[in-house]
Amino acid sequence: MCRFLYILLLWNWATQADAASIADVPSFRPSRIVNGEKARNGEEAWQISLQLSTGGAGPNRQRTMSHFCGGTLVNDRWVVTAAHCVYKKMYITSDNLFVVFNTTNMKHPDVPNIGVEKIFTANYNEATKEHDIALLKLKEAVSTSGAVSLPPASYEANGTCTVSGWGFQQANAGFTPNHLMAANVTVLTREDCQARFGSQYKIYPGMLCAGGGKTDACQGDSGGPLVCTTSTGENVLAGVVSWGIGCATPTIPGVYTEVAKYDSWIQQVMENNQDSKLPTTSSDI
């Protein structure tokens, strides 16, 4: 059932890929880091695999888990991902959503995973792709050795940063590799990014562009991290993989949610949903 669902989702992405308006851009980026390299053990340790669990009911049924998006561990109880990964999807609930963490090989038999207690999405706009960010509160605390820092509201990404994830060999085709892939991409100015997309696609405030060369994110990398290193050596979550036109399309960058612009929203959700407080059902920007 889960395999059929995943194939159906991929078919939907493929049929939308050539549409003209931003409302018809595939919600999920194609799923492999294009022209990247295998991440070494200990690298990109903040990367998580977001997986759906199916089956498991009854004495003879085993639970199966399938990767469908990425995400980033930002502290011992919270993961940042893309809103479009979990927004208004009736088949995704906190009961069947799991986070696989602390691994470069998500298919390893001993890979650690933990359930999701609650899902929070920003005021995501499916038509414009604005506010494509979500928070997942984990059921239990995990090791923070792999967490990446959240940027302050004043942070502005620049230079070369790293995008990572698990996914296809090319857009809407191939297979998802077990090993985590990573690639370097260059952050563009908003003006340069808008000029490359032209008048058909608007780059809204809260969106960040990177790439446009031979490396890029792709479907299944959705929700994953764009991490930049500061002059002091601190790794900062600059962006969340959001949308794009194909994968590694010449001159066309990938579009990310600019995490710094959601600093207040992130802090508010986390503060309002500590273990000692009653959880809220949603949170708007």
- Structure token digits, residue 138: 């984990």
Catalytic residue check, 222: yes
Q: Are 122 and 83 in contact (CB under 8 A)?
A: yes
Active-site residue (options: 49, 132, 164, 242):
132
Burial of 46 (0-12, 13-18, 19+ CB in 10 A): buried
Cα 141 to Cα 95, 273, 274, distances in angstroms: 17, 14, 12
The runs of H, that is alpha helices, within the chain are 2-16, 190-197, 263-272
Q: Alpha-carbon distance 132 to 231, whole Å?
A: 28
Catalytic residue check, 67: no
Active-site residue (options: 27, 67, 84, 216):
84
Q: Alpha-carbon distance 268 to 283, whole Å?
A: 9
How many helices (H) and strands (E) the chain has is answered by 3, 13
Q: Which helix (H) or strand (E) holds 265?
A: helix 263-272
Biggest distance spanned by C-alpha atoms of the chain = 58
Catalytic residue check, 216: no
Active-site residue (options: 27, 31, 49, 222):
222
Which residues does the annotation mark as catalytic? 84, 132, 222
